[in-house]
Structure 1
Amino acid sequence: MTDLGTPVLDDHLHLDADNRGIDAVEDFVHLGGTHLLVVNKPSWHHGVEADAGADFRPVFEETIRLVEEASEVLPGQAWPVLGVHPGLISRLVDDRGFSAEEAGELMRAGIDVAAEYASDGRAVALKSGRPHYDVSDAVWEASNEVIRHACTRAAETGVALQLHTEATEDLTDVAEWAEDAGLPPERVVKHYASGELDGVTKSVMCEKDYLETAVEVGEPFLMETDFVDDADRPGAVMGPKTVPRRVRWLQEQGHDDVIRVAHVETPEAVYGIDTRATLDE
Structure 2
Amino acid sequence: MIDDETPVLDNHLHLDPDNHRGIDAVSDFARLGGTHLLVVNKPSWHLGVEAETGEDFRPVFERTLEIVEAANEELEGRAWPVLGVHPGLISRLVDDRGYDANDAREIMQGGIDVAAEYVANGEALALKSGRPHYEVDDAVLEASNAVMRRAFERGAELDCAVQLHAEASEEMTELTDWAEDAGLPAHRVVKHYAGGRLEGPIPSVMSEKDRLEVAAERGEPFLMETDYVDDPDRPGAVLGPKTVPRRVAWMLENGLDDAVRIAHVETPKTVYGIDTVETLERP
Matching residue of 1:93: 94
Tell me, yes or no, if the aligned pair for 2:2 and 2:248 is still in contact at 8 Å. Answer: no
Matching residue of 2:16: 16
User: 2-side partners of 1:184 and 1:221: how far apart?
Assistant: 16
User: 1-side partners of 2:10 and 2:4: how far apart?
Assistant: 14
Residue-by-residue CA offset, 1:106-133 (whole Å, 9 max, x unaligned) = 1000000000000001111100000011
User: 2-side partners of 1:204 and 1:238: how far apart?
Assistant: 12
Matching residue of 1:216: 217
Q: By how many angstroms is 1:245 displaced?
A: 0.3
Matching residue of 1:67: 68
Matching residue of 1:80: 81
Tell me, yes or no, if the aligned pair for 2:2 and 2:252 is still in contact at 8 Å. Answer: no
Residue-by-residue CA offset, 1:156-188 (whole Å, 9 max, x unaligned) = 112100000011111111111110111111110
User: 1-side partners of 2:99 and 2:57: how far apart?
Assistant: 17
Matching residue of 1:272: 273
Runs of 4+ residues over 6 Å off in structure 1? none
Q: By how many angstroms is 1:199 displaced?
A: 0.6
Q: How does 1:138-157 map to 2 (within 5 A)?
A: 138-157=139-158
Q: By how many angstroms is 1:4 displaced?
A: 5.4
The range that moved more, 3-12 or 66-75, is 3-12
User: 1-side partners of 2:2 and 2:70: how far apart?
Assistant: 21
Aligned residue identity for 1:30 = R
Q: How does 1:229-268 map to 2 (within 5 A)?
A: 229-268=230-269
User: 2-side partners of 1:103 and 1:16: how far apart?
Assistant: 26
Residue-by-residue CA offset, 1:72-95 (whole Å, 9 max, x unaligned) = 110000000000000000000001
Q: How does 1:21-32 map to 2 (within 5 A)?
A: 21-32=22-33
Matching residue of 1:228: 229
Establish whether residue 49 from structure 1 lines up as the match of residue 36 from structure 2. no
Q: Residue 73 of structure 2: SS of its match in structure 1?
A: helix
Tell me, yes or no, if the aligned pair for 1:2 and 1:30 is still in contact at 8 Å. Answer: no
Establish whether residue 109 from structure 1 lines up as the match of residue 110 from structure 2. yes
Residue-by-residue CA offset, 1:232-258 (whole Å, 9 max, x unaligned) = 101100000000000000001111111
Q: Residue 72 of structure 2: SS of its match in structure 1?
A: helix
The range that moved more, 252-261 or 8-17, is 252-261
Q: By how many angstroms is 1:218 displaced?
A: 1.4
User: 1-side partners of 2:3 and 2:69: how far apart?
Assistant: 22
Aligned residue identity for 2:13 = L
Matching residue of 2:119: 118
User: 2-side partners of 1:73 and 1:45: how far apart?
Assistant: 25
User: 2-side partners of 1:85 and 1:23: how far apart?
Assistant: 24
The number of residue pairs the alignment matches comes to: 281
Q: Residue 73 of structure 1: SS of its match in structure 2?
A: coil
Tell me, yes or no, if the aligned pair for 1:54 and 1:110 is still in contact at 8 Å. Answer: yes
Q: By how many angstroms is 1:3 displaced?
A: 4.7
- What is the TM-score with the length of structure 2 in the denominator? 0.97
The root-mean-square deviation of aligned C-alpha atoms, in Å, is 1.2
Tell me, yes or no, if the aligned pair for 1:119 and 1:158 is still in contact at 8 Å. Answer: no
Tell me, yes or no, if the aligned pair for 1:85 and 1:127 is still in contact at 8 Å. Answer: yes
- What is the TM-score with the length of structure 1 in the denominator? 0.98
Tell me, yes or no, if the aligned pair for 1:4 and 1:248 is still in contact at 8 Å. Answer: no
Tell me, yes or no, if the aligned pair for 2:2 and 2:249 is still in contact at 8 Å. Answer: no
Q: Residue 80 of structure 1: SS of its match in structure 2?
A: strand
User: 1-side partners of 2:123 and 2:272: how far apart?
Assistant: 13
Q: By how many angstroms is 1:2 displaced?
A: 6.7
Q: Which runs of 5+ in 2 are unaligned?
A: none
Aligned residue identity for 1:264 = V
User: 2-side partners of 1:192 and 1:2: how far apart?
Assistant: 24
